[in-house]
Structure 1
Amino acid sequence: MNTLKRRQFLSQLSLAAVGTALSGKLYASSFLDSKPLIVEEFVQTETTYGKVKGYRSEGVNIFKGIPYAGKTSGNNRFRRPAKLEPWTGVRDALHLGAPAIQAPRRNEPEPSEDCLFLNVWTPASDNKKRPVMFYNHGGGFVIGSGGSAGQDGANLARNFDVVVVETNHRLGLFGFLYLDEIAGPDYAGSGNMGLLDIIDGLKWVHENIAQFGGNPDNVMIWGESGGGAKTSCLYAMPAAAPYFNKASIESGPGVRMMDKETAHENTLQLLKQLNISANNWQKILEVPAADLLSMQAKLPFVPPFLEKNKTQGMMRRNAGGFGPVVDGKALPRHPFDPDAPAISRNKPLLVGWNEDEYTFFAWERKDTESFKMDFDGLYQKLEPQYGPADTKKIIETYRKARPNATAPDIFVAISSITMMGLGSIDIAEKKARQNGAPVYLYNFGYKSENKIPGTDYAMGTPHAMDISFKFNNEVPPKNGEPAKPSFFGGNRPERFTASHNFAELWTTFARTGKPAAQSAPVWPAYNLKNRPTMRIDTKLEVVNNQFKEEVEMWRSIGRI
């Protein structure tokens, strides 16, 4: 590392954007206030492509916007990136790189087809072999970036001596348009370009992270929401296998992905909307990116995982939308169906969800009516989805298990576990049956007192609240300054303890393959006898067979 002349300046952190695609709609939010960042000095590090210049701030070296692969525009649209050419001199890595094509993001560069950049946070660019935490951002498969402030990696690097890496990669139809059936071998794997981009980022880490103080042989992949689904896919992809050795899937259990027949139908539907015949598919290469983004917005989005039809055992097929494709090549199988992938048998896994996932979506959808209903209203709300008999059984089970719960309480619990919980449990069970490396199931339960706008109902533990907690970005203010409220986490100082607990468990897992914290009891690997789950809060507690009655009911009606 070369240290350059000291200099101080203020820079504004970007606002975070998180989201997921569920039920055919996109949900996104911006949160975390901007704050001044003091840069103490510039630092240089060597990569296989040339030197990069980052900056040091409060004990962390930060490099932003490092290219990890070449152009994906022009002739490389829907194909593998062009070769990244080395540069001479020193390349600035002081600002975020362009995010993938999407709506403009506040405090980030203009979105671009050429978006293959990554960011690195490290305590020092030395020869110390720190664990590497390679994060896959959320946003379904259509929005997000590796530069969101909520997932800023500085506190993890500083407080837990790890290296954090986050990538931008292609999204939406630019990353997942399946052309294999009509475009020939040059476009093989086109339905998974976004995932293959991430693998290019992992390969870059393998070749370069030692120069940043990281251990290329100790890499954890992790991600939340759509990033959890991406991580699920990587766990099953042969091309990713050499570059990581443990994983964490958070509030985005990617059990099943789109089959290639559905993906092909989606491609034909898009071409029809563009008035392009399948024989002349090449014309899509000439369509401006902005026009393709506009067309994408008119089509349904793909959820983080596909559900099974409970009567036929078949996967639900959604017309429209773009996401990972089980193409038999890049992604040879569903990530966790019918079982855990053998290719990652020896790689430890964390998986879990937040207790009140739905309150995030209520906030996004401006849903206030769900928090006014009585139990008759709850039946009427659930019956179209589950049918009369199952709806009655569901409500009876939850009222018995939670005798003091209101109808809105039960609706939030049902919606949250069906969105993210059942898939997480399914993954844990399948991984445990594999009798390979351990799997650890968790449930995040710290309760925010913030109210859903327009209601008196507290958000509790909504979807995406875990991001700032696990990145240890819920921390006490310095120098006696008053604490600012957290967008999701609320204003109680207890949140700082819950954040430290979450971050310590995850960084210990990254370091050793076994999650642990000083204030935690021993976290047993998940098994089919005791079914232990770590509940993460200000107090860390192992709960055996959590939500036993509810889960058994869901199993009895074929939902898991």
Structure 2
Amino acid sequence: MHTDRTVGDVVSTEAGPVRGFVSRGVRVWQGIRYAAPPIGDRRFRDPIRPEPWSDVFEATAFGPCEPQSTNAAIPLGPDVRMDEDALSLNVWAPPAGDAGKPVLVWIHGGAYFRGASSQPVFDATSLVEHGDVVVVTFNYRLGAFGFLDLSSFSTAEQQFDSNVALKDMIMVLEWVQANIANFGGDPGRVTLFGESAGGGAVTTLMTVPSAEGLFHRAIAESSPATSVYGPERSADVAAQFIELLGLAPGDAAGARAASTAEVLTASDALFAQVPQRSPGTIAFAPVVDGTLVPEYPVRAFRAGDAHRVPLIIGTNKDESSLFRLMKSPLMPIEQATIRAMFDEVAAEHPDLDLPDEARISSAYTGLAPIQQNLGITRDFGFRMPTVWIAEAHSAFAPCWLYRFDYAPPMLKALRIGATHATELPYVWGNLAHGAKDITYKLGGRRTAERVSANMQHRWLAFAQGDDPVGLADAPVWERYTADARVSLVIDTTESAVADLDGELREAWGDHVLAFV
């Protein structure tokens, strides 16, 4: 029972009327269908618009989330069930009044494999309260359901589409253009933002021609921007999946007919198998299919072919420590697997001048061996692709680069630091995670609130159409340029640092084309 809720407005959408609720003065609608169920013959196919409805839909609870294996580090929210029919979205808006509010559309992370819009950290109440904005969050297809490219196995009888999850995201952005004005939002001021896989989706969508004009600003947090693969590799991954399902080679029709549980089991196995066979790669990711995604995103940025919208992009100081803690296969930590990662890149790109391993290692001298390895994998997967995008995009559009360094005393004591995804509570203003949360057991809560207030102020100012200015006592965050290369370092206090990544850039060199 939600005792703080009152009955909300009925709002018209293109598909039908929806009624939400009001909580803490914020209007909320949850579980609004934006696409038809991607089940049966629609599994592995492009999304299509839903059947219209005439009765008022009670948008008072999150819709089902995409099937996935659960992980304690990613709480999906109370009473949220899983179902392949999961393509729904949620809207938070200020009290009814002036229209034309800026809109933020969020893409959640989770390695393109886990996560949901119902995760408690993504409650947008704080953002709406502090920013006078409209926020949209949504579910998209994950794992094999959304990022398995079976298109190479298409026949006249059985058609399969590529990048169906990216197309889910585009359908949400189209929904925003068509409907958000009825919720008080301005379809001409849409900021697309996301973290981890969601950040990777942002940088990818910035290079998708059919997404042009659907958003006008972008924020990419910890984007694995180079984790986008070509059709040959994607066909090989699809073949591995079919084998894991126990089907005959090429039997993609059998994959469509398999139960949800069977697909999920094979998806889990593939998620672990691919990075073991090919260190430094992931099983599920966008595909350069030549149509929706015409080019590797980092190459497109470098050529000036990305949408020339203002961009905030950055990473966290200790990205890799979370993967080590979780014993995740996604990021190689041991020296042997790191060497295998470089060997695989060399084998895939024999015609390219690849980075010298000894020169790269020189940037990590003085660190303990495990810290060297964590640094190399962090920069391979996150920091260097982010810097490359900032270098490229800043030549064509306003761009701001940051690094999130803040960690409360407990996370420092646990040797986790400012690891992957730890900036999320500060951006969303949701620092409390229940009685069992130990984050602030050693103190730091007051500092955390100040860090959060400043981050929110910057992100919201940016969404309003301004530069990402901080609170009154915050330093000026200058645009990234090839001359000054300023990064905002977000810690207990903020600082604007010129050429923060200079040593790394020199060690890694300009190897954009080697890591795609």
Coarse TM-score class (shorter-chain normalised): 0.7 to 0.9
Letter in 2 for 1:59: G
1:325 to 287, 291, 313: 287
Q: Which residue of 2 aligns with 1:467?
A: 424
Change in Cα spacing, 1:489 to 1:144, as seen in structure 2 (3 Å) is farther
Change in Cα spacing, 1:509 to 1:187, as seen in structure 2 (3 Å) is farther
- Partner SS, residue 203 of structure 2: helix
Change in Cα spacing, 1:79 to 1:220, as seen in structure 2 (3 Å) is same
Flag structure 1 segments of 5+ consecutive residues without an equivalent: 1-8, 11-36, 305-315, 372-377
Give the Cα–Cα distance (whole angstroms) in 2 for the partners of residues 380 and 272 of structure 1: 28
Q: Which residue of 1 aligns with 2:457?
A: 504
Give the Cα–Cα distance (whole angstroms) in 2 for the partners of residues 45 and 321 of structure 1: 40
Change in Cα spacing, 1:382 to 1:232, as seen in structure 2 (3 Å) is closer
Q: CA contact under 8 A between 2:280 and 2:381: conserved in structure 1?
A: no
Q: CA contact under 8 A between 2:93 and 2:135: conserved in structure 1?
A: yes
- Partner SS, residue 480 of structure 2: coil
Give identity over the alignment, percent: 29
2:402 to 428, 442, 448: 442
Give the Cα–Cα distance (whole angstroms) in 1 for the partners of residues 122 and 69 of structure 2: 20
Change in Cα spacing, 1:79 to 1:412, as seen in structure 2 (3 Å) is closer
Give the Cα–Cα distance (whole angstroms) in 1 for the partners of residues 41 and 335 of structure 2: 54
Letter in 2 for 1:538: T
Give the Cα–Cα distance (whole angstroms) in 1 for the partners of residues 339 and 248 of structure 2: 42
Give the Cα–Cα distance (whole angstroms) in 1 for the partners of residues 15 and 443 of structure 2: 44
1:155 aligns with 2:108: no
Compute the displacement of 1:231 (Å): 1.0
- Partner SS, residue 204 of structure 1: helix
Change in Cα spacing, 1:86 to 1:383, as seen in structure 2 (3 Å) is closer
Q: Which residue of 1 aligns with 2:170?
A: 199
Q: CA contact under 8 A between 1:136 and 1:222: conserved in structure 2?
A: yes
Q: CA contact under 8 A between 1:476 and 1:496: conserved in structure 2?
A: no
Q: CA contact under 8 A between 2:34 and 2:49: conserved in structure 1?
A: no
Query: Which has the larger strand fraction?
Result: 1
Residues 245-282 of structure 1: CA distance to partner in whole angstroms, max 9, x if unpaired?
11111112313511001111222232234344466532
Give the Cα–Cα distance (whole angstroms) in 1 for the partners of residues 112 and 442 of structure 2: 25
Tell me whether 47-56 or 217-226 shows the greater mean CA deviation.
Answer: 47-56
1:424 to 363, 368, 386: 386
Compute the displacement of 1:300 (Å): 3.5
1:170 aligns with 2:141: yes
Change in Cα spacing, 1:255 to 1:392, as seen in structure 2 (3 Å) is closer
Q: Which residue of 1 aligns with 2:482?
A: 528
Tell me whether 136-145 or 81-90 shows the greater mean CA deviation.
Answer: 81-90
Tell me whether 158-167 or 255-264 shows the greater mean CA deviation.
Answer: 255-264
Give the Cα–Cα distance (whole angstroms) in 2 for the partners of residues 539 and 523 of structure 1: 13
Change in Cα spacing, 1:253 to 1:366, as seen in structure 2 (3 Å) is closer
Residues 195-217 of structure 1: CA distance to partner in whole angstroms, max 9, x if unpaired?
10011111111111111111111
1:551 aligns with 2:505: yes
Q: CA contact under 8 A between 2:393 and 2:399: conserved in structure 1?
A: yes
Give the Cα–Cα distance (whole angstroms) in 1 for the partners of residues 212 and 142 of structure 2: 22
Q: CA contact under 8 A between 1:442 and 1:536: conserved in structure 2?
A: yes
Q: Which residue of 1 aligns with 2:46?
A: 80
Q: CA contact under 8 A between 1:235 and 1:344: conserved in structure 2?
A: yes
1:64 to 13, 30, 36: 30
- Partner SS, residue 262 of structure 2: helix
Letter in 1 for 2:389: I
Q: CA contact under 8 A between 1:355 and 1:417: conserved in structure 2?
A: no
TM-score normalized by structure 1? 0.79
Compute the displacement of 1:112 (Å): 1.2
Give the Cα–Cα distance (whole angstroms) in 2 for the partners of residues 46 and 260 of structure 1: 41
Compute the displacement of 1:99 (Å): 0.9
Give the Cα–Cα distance (whole angstroms) in 1 for the partners of residues 130 and 369 of structure 2: 42
Tell me whether 545-554 or 221-230 shows the greater mean CA deviation.
Answer: 545-554
- Partner SS, residue 249 of structure 1: strand
Change in Cα spacing, 1:202 to 1:366, as seen in structure 2 (3 Å) is closer
Aligned residue pair count: 493
Alignment of 1:325-364 (within 5 A): 325-337=287-299, 339-340=301-302, 342-364=304-326
Alignment of 1:226-245 (within 5 A): 226-245=197-216
Compute the displacement of 1:140 (Å): 0.8
1:539 aligns with 2:493: yes
Give the Cα–Cα distance (whole angstroms) in 1 for the partners of residues 356 and 164 of structure 2: 40
Q: Which residue of 1 aligns with 2:348?
A: none
Letter in 2 for 1:137: H
- Partner SS, residue 80 of structure 1: coil
Q: CA contact under 8 A between 1:128 and 1:214: conserved in structure 2?
A: yes
Alignment of 1:119-268 (within 5 A): 119-184=90-155, 190-268=161-239
| Cα-Cα RMSD | 3.5
Q: CA contact under 8 A between 2:320 and 2:374: conserved in structure 1?
A: yes
Tell me whether 185-194 or 265-274 shows the greater mean CA deviation.
Answer: 185-194
Give the Cα–Cα distance (whole angstroms) in 2 for the partners of residues 234 and 87 of structure 1: 30
Compute the displacement of 1:340 (Å): 3.8
TM-score normalized by structure 2? 0.85
Q: CA contact under 8 A between 1:465 and 1:489: conserved in structure 2?
A: no
Give the Cα–Cα distance (whole angstroms) in 2 for the partners of residues 532 and 338 of structure 1: 23
Change in Cα spacing, 1:275 to 1:246, as seen in structure 2 (3 Å) is same
Q: Which residue of 2 aligns with 1:515?
A: 468
Give the Cα–Cα distance (whole angstroms) in 1 for the partners of residues 475 and 59 of structure 2: 41
Q: CA contact under 8 A between 2:390 and 2:401: conserved in structure 1?
A: yes
Q: Which residue of 2 aligns with 1:51?
A: 17
Change in Cα spacing, 1:256 to 1:279, as seen in structure 2 (3 Å) is closer
Flag structure 2 segments of 5+ consecutive residues without an equivalent: 71-75, 344-354
Q: CA contact under 8 A between 2:240 and 2:270: conserved in structure 1?
A: no
Q: Which residue of 1 aligns with 2:267?
A: 296
Letter in 2 for 1:328: G
Residues 174-223 of structure 1: CA distance to partner in whole angstroms, max 9, x if unpaired?
11222322215898772200010011111111111111111111111111
Change in Cα spacing, 1:498 to 1:411, as seen in structure 2 (3 Å) is farther
Change in Cα spacing, 1:382 to 1:200, as seen in structure 2 (3 Å) is closer
